[in-house]
Amino acid sequence: MHKLMNFVLVAVLMVLAACNNYDGRETLLVAAPIPPTVLPQPPVPPMNIAGTWYSRAENNAANCGSGEYVDAKSVVISQDSVDFSMLLSSGDSFTGTVNGDIVEWTGSFPERNGMTDFTSASVVFSTDSGAGNAMWTWSDGSDSCNGSMALSFDRNAASESDRNSRPEIADQFQFVDNVAYFTGTLGVGIDRTDYFTFTAEQDAMLQVELAHFDTLSTNLDLRILDENLQEIAASTSASDFEMVDVGISGGATYFVQVDATLIADVATYDLALDIN
């Protein structure tokens, strides 16, 4: 009996010792604080980027032997919430996604007897402009190379054509960083031909792209004329898109002519030019 009481007494003393620290002060056991609940952020609504834009690409194709050059295009973007598609004045099209103000896409297009693939392309848009970068690879099945481009977009880069139905009243192209844009209108009761002009600063290659979007009732042709109004290049297909590449000489004056060879009512169009 005494042994049992001694055992109980020892157990009680051990429990009391466990509840006190070494200097005799009582230790309080405090539960760890519960971290605050972090609520997930609501998704950022996609920016509305639908409409017509004018793009400038600074292309670095040194690995492909083409050096650096600029490329101007008009771009029509259609959007369905976070999904979008864009149609370029070259006739190429791409699809991608809109995450807030960030637009991303991939896709392929034929170029130089091969295919160029966008491995990545990302542009941050604001209301009237955008800037970003793209990476690409090119291959013709046996040879391949890669490069990059700096991209910029502007809703308001194009000038509007006036009553420029004759060469002597042609609208003047104003090149900024070697690119220029114009938007025009042809139609029954308006005029069926527009003229634009510029004087080359140096020997270079000129690329002109003409885009419209109504082949059922409209067909537009693109012609490049010298200062004597002699045709030096032309694109006269039945598609929505016409493109010419032609060498130009420094100091010489040139005309760009847009003809409506078929038109039922009114046709609007975009011109994008670059000089390299």
Domains for the chain: give ranges and CATH numbers.
51-154 (2.40.160), 159-275 (2.60.120.380)
Q: Residue 247: is it exposed, middle or buried by C-beta count within 10 angstroms (0-12/13-18/19+)?
A: exposed
> Which residue is it, tokens 């996604």?
97
Query: Residue 7: its pLDDT value, please?
Result: 43
pLDDT, tens digit (0-9, with 9 covering 90-100), for 87-132: 999 999 999 999 999 999 999 999 888 999 999 999 999 999 999 9
- Cβ 72 vs Cβ 36: under 8 Å: no
- Higher per-residue confidence, 183 vs 13: 183
- pTM exceeding the 0.85 threshold for the entire prediction: no
Average pLDDT, the chain: 88
- Cβ 92 vs Cβ 116: under 8 Å: no
pLDDT, tens digit (0-9, with 9 covering 90-100), for 15-64: 444 444 445 555 566 677 888 888 777 777 899 999 999 999 999 999 99
Distance CA 225, CA 244 (A): 12
Q: Examine the pLDDT at 2 and tell me if it is beyond 60.
A: no
pLDDT, tens digit (0-9, with 9 covering 90-100), for 145-194: 999 999 999 999 999 988 899 999 999 999 999 999 999 999 888 889 99
